[in-house]
């Protein structure tokens, strides 16, 4: 009976260590995704309160995003677009698009599944945020990925947010 506790501990130690590392990896992934989601909500809310924007303003939004996500690895992307619905032709048109780290929104690739139903000549602001994620350990088999968020909001104080040159 002498030493049985030590042997039992040595048998359980790898399992406990594995459980701890996997738990921390899942927690890191959860907090990373939650932080990115909150940042996307904050940026889209800021955009909904604007009446006019510039490319410099979008660059400042990107800097704010970097401060909201200090632990994110390099490579985050931000794209903000104003989209109008033409009810007569039943098409969505990109009025303007500005981006940092990614190409501006091409007017031919509008995913209607992201956009809500809209009235004729109604506009929305589409804020897209892509945040890369690198887990500290691959034991949990989470792997590197990119959190992608697309938030759609209506302008609050004007019918359409204007892009100034």
Task: Give residue 130's domain range.
Answer: 4-163
Residues linked to residue 86 through DSSP beta bridges, in sequence order = 91
The total of other beta-carbon atoms located within 10 Å of residue 39's CB is 23
Burial of 152 (0-12, 13-18, 19+ CB in 10 A): middle
Dist. CA 108–CA 144, nearest whole Å: 30
pLDDT for 136: 83
The predicted model gives 106-114 an average pLDDT of 73
Residues linked to residue 79 through DSSP beta bridges, in sequence order = 99, 128
Dist. CA 48–CA 123, nearest whole Å: 11
Number of domains within the chain: 1
Dist. CA 56–CA 158, nearest whole Å: 20
Greater confidence (28 vs 140) lies with 28
pLDDT for 53: 96
Q: How confident is the model at residue 36 (pLDDT cuts 50, 70, 90)?
A: very high
Question: 48 near 154, Cβ under 8 Å?
Answer: yes
Q: Chain-wide mean pLDDT for the chain?
A: 90
Residue 123, pLDDT > 80, answer yes
CA distance readout (Å), 109 to 105, 120, 130: 8, 20, 17
pLDDT for 63: 94
pLDDT digits (tens, 9 = 90+) for 47-102: 999 999 999 999 999 999 999 998 888 899 999 999 999 889 888 899 999 999 99
Q: How confident is the model at residue 1 (pLDDT cuts 50, 70, 90)?
A: low
């Amino acid at each position: 009976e002498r030493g049985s506790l030590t042997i039992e501990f040595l048998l359980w130690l790898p399992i406990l260590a594995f459980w701890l590392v996997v738990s921390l990896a899942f927690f890191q992934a959860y907090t990373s995704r939650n932080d990115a989601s909150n940042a996307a909500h904050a940026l889209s809310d800021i955009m909904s309160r604007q009446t006019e924007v510039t490319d410099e303003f979008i660059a400042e939004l990107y800097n704010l995003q970097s401060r909201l996500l200090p632990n994110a690895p390099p490579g985050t992307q931000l794209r903000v677009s104003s989209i109008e619905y033409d009810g007569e032709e039943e098409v969505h048109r990109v009025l303007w698009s500005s981006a940092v780290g990614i190409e501006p929104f091409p007017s031919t690739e509008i995913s209607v599944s992201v956009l809500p139903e809209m009235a004729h000549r109604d506009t929305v602001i589409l804020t897209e945020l892509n945040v890369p994620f690198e887990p500290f350990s691959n034991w949990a088999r989470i792997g590197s990925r990119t959190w992608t968020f697309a938030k759609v909001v209506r302008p609050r104080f004007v019918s359409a947010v204007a892009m100034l040159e």
